[in-house]
Amino acid sequence: MSNERKNLTTASGAPVGDNQHSLTAGDSGPTLIQDVHLLEKLAHFNRERVPERVVHAKGAGAHGYFEVTNNDIAKYTKADFLSEAGKRTPMFIRFSTVAGELGSADTVRDPRGFAVKFYTDEGNYDLVGNNTPVFFIRDAIKFPDFIHTQKRHPRTHLKDPNMVWDFWSLSPESLHQITILHSDRGIPATLRHMNGYGSHTFKWVNKDGEAFWIKYHFKTDQGVKNLDVDLAGKLAGENPDYHLEDLYNAINDAQYPSWTLKVQIMPEADAKHYRYDPFDVTKVWSHQDYPLIEVGRMVLDRNPENYFEEVEQAAFSPAHFVPGIEASPDKMLQGRLFSYSDAHRYRIGANHEALPINRAKSGVHNYQRDGQMRFDGNGGGSVNYEPNSYDGPKESAEGRINPFEVSGMADAVNYDNEDHYSQPRALFRDVMDDGERARLITNFADHMRGVRDEQIIERQLKEFYKVAPELAEGIAKELETEVPEDIYY
Ligand code: NDP
Ligand code: HEM
């Protein structure tokens, strides 16, 4: 930054005569409407906020790079940014909580958003995941209802465990995610000490047109660390921005956090026979069935220069793919393909893709023109329709999707798998140790204590019983109640 002091100007560039005192009629007279600088200053201030994100409003961002470490990945995808070991791609990440508003506390029990934008040579690839490998629901049509239960009650404007557990107890597909959420990992120590997951299944396509199903895992190189519940509560009051501050300071002190990206790869044909529907986002694929394969390393080495410009205006969309990476039929992912860019058009405008943080560094060439806040030259005098005789940009074979077969009746149907229990059971019984199991039970009970309606507790305890009787009984004991008898059939 230049040290040369510049004269203060209005937004239209005219020098400002006085920025400390308004123009008045006489020494104590009323303020003059002629003080156009004052009017402009107040008016611009009134327009400083864009709508906060409807979910994931509170967040921290950082710049960095992704470097491929495995030459074999090109066997599975033709994505250029993954083509060879040593290839580096600039990226930007935004971490977030889900339910809280823009100013809410960081150290709460909530999933953490883990949204990565890779500025590849073939356009932006966005991987908009969480720090959990699964999700609460598995059909986009339930998302607005689910989020209403996580936000504030329409009458009290308070967070409301009654509506949270009402919804969860009536949506048993949530059991896996709520077990992760109420485990120690529900409150990460810092944003640097948690894993990230793509959560959905995605499709990779190689140069020969062969397709594979993929799950992404970003494993933290700092190690997983979590916060003790009491300390988290204290920090939420004392320093609501604890996680933002930690990330900023770490990068500022050149303690660059990194993650190793690994994938599980399922050959396309396996999907029909796998013991879980591989497109159901409430399920993981066992590591024994599909082991993790290293892809590369993500390093965060630069803080944003301006929070609003880079973090608030960042627009991540699961619909931003590059050749070699495509959607799967996951019904949540399919809904998300619509939802994000729609949110961005509302939140930051029709031309949000032209903002510097969102703009593809590889170039954007199309026939989209005009609209509010068009500040990038708008295509100048170049041809603005297609087909044309004037050498305008043309479609290319690289952009074509891998054709796939569809069949069946159009209908509104559930996934044909009602086993919501075996995976949270494996987590509870096989992965957690005694201490983690005990804390899980306490965390569940502490939250459920806020439920007013007894039938909700009963229904949820029945669901927990199907995960593991000792889980349901442990929670019931802490709530000084019993697991309802009709479960013992
Ligand atoms: P593994 O023993 O191979 O893997 C267990 C996984 O659980 C590890 O990835 C571990 O992460 C992770 N983990 C440990 N504690 C928690 C926690 N409190 N919340 C969330 N994840 C945790 O077993 P399987 O692959 O057979 O899976 C068994 C169960 O582990 C699953 O049902 C699922 O609940 C859970 N899990 C599985 C994952 C998968 O992709 N297969 C991913 C994450 C969880 P780390 O190694 O980083 O410590
Ligand atoms: C943010 C919708 C499921 C991760 C958002 C936003 C919307 C949204 C509208 C705000 C976007 C913005 O204003 O910039 C949905 C819908 C879902 C869904 C409709 C289900 C159908 C998920 C899932 C994950 C996820 C399953 C993770 C696996 C995120 C993240 C953000 C976000 C990380 C914040 C992105 C950022 O940092 O800007 N979601 N979401 N969402 N969502 Fe979802």
Quick check: 76 pLDDT over 90?
yes
pLDDT tens figures, 424-458: 999 999 999 999 999 999 999 999 999 999 999 99
54 lines ligand 2 (CB under 6 A): yes
Report the chain's mean pLDDT, rounded to a whole number.
Answer: 97
Which value does ipTM take for this structure?
A: 0.98
Position 137 scores a pLDDT of 98
pLDDT tens figures, 325-367: 999 999 999 999 999 999 999 999 999 999 999 999 999 999 9
Beta-carbon contacts of 187 under 8 Å, excluding residues fewer than 6 positions away, are 107, 108, 109, 226, 227, 229, 232
Task: Give nearest CA residue, ligand 1 atom 41.
Answer: 286
State percent of the chain over pLDDT 90. 97
Three-state secondary structure string covering 316-334: CCCCCCCCCEECCCCHHHH
Whether the ω angle into residue 51 lies within 30 degrees of 0, i.e. cis, is no
What is the full DSSP assignment across 105-165?
A: -SSSSS-EEEEEEEEEBTEEEEEEEESSSS-S-S-GGGHHHHHHHHSB-TTT-SB-HHHHH
Position 7 scores a pLDDT of 97
Would you name the residues annotated as active-site residues?
A: 56, 130
Q: Which CATH architecture has domain 142-170+421-489?
A: Up-down Bundle (1.20)
Q: 427 CA to middle of ligand 1, Å?
A: 7
pLDDT tens figures, 164-177: 999 999 999 999 99
335 lines ligand 2 (CB under 6 A): yes
Quick check: 489 pLDDT over 70?
no
319 lines ligand 2 (CB under 6 A): no
Position 488 scores a pLDDT of 53
For residues 218 and 197, the answer to whether their CB atoms sit within 8 Å is yes
Q: Tell me whether strands 202-205 and 211-220 are parallel, antiparallel or unpaired.
A: antiparallel
Mutate to test the pocket of ligand 2, among 336, 337, 344, 347 (most ligand atoms within 8 A of CB): 336
In this structure, the residues whose C-beta lies within 6 A of any atom of ligand 1 are 133, 180, 183-185, 195, 219, 224, 284-288, 423, 426-427, 431
Give the ligand with the smallest distance to the CA of 102. 2
pLDDT tens figures, 12-49: 999 999 999 999 999 998 999 999 999 999 999 999 99
Mutate to test the pocket of ligand 2, among 56, 117, 124, 135 (most ligand atoms within 8 A of CB): 56
Q: Where are the domains of the chain?
A: 36-136+187-382, 142-170+421-489
Give the ligand with the smallest distance to the CA of 427. 1
Task: Give nearest CA residue, ligand 2 atom 25.
Answer: 129
Task: Give nearest CA residue, ligand 1 atom 3.
Answer: 287
What whole-number distance in Å separates Cα of residue 173 and Cα of residue 417? 10
Position 487 scores a pLDDT of 65
- CATH class of the domain defined by 36-136+187-382: mainly beta
Mean pLDDT of 78-90: 98
Q: Report the binding-site residues for heme.
A: 340
Give the ligand with the smallest distance to the CA of 419. 1
Quick check: 110 pLDDT over 50?
yes
pTM of structure? 0.97
Position 485 scores a pLDDT of 82
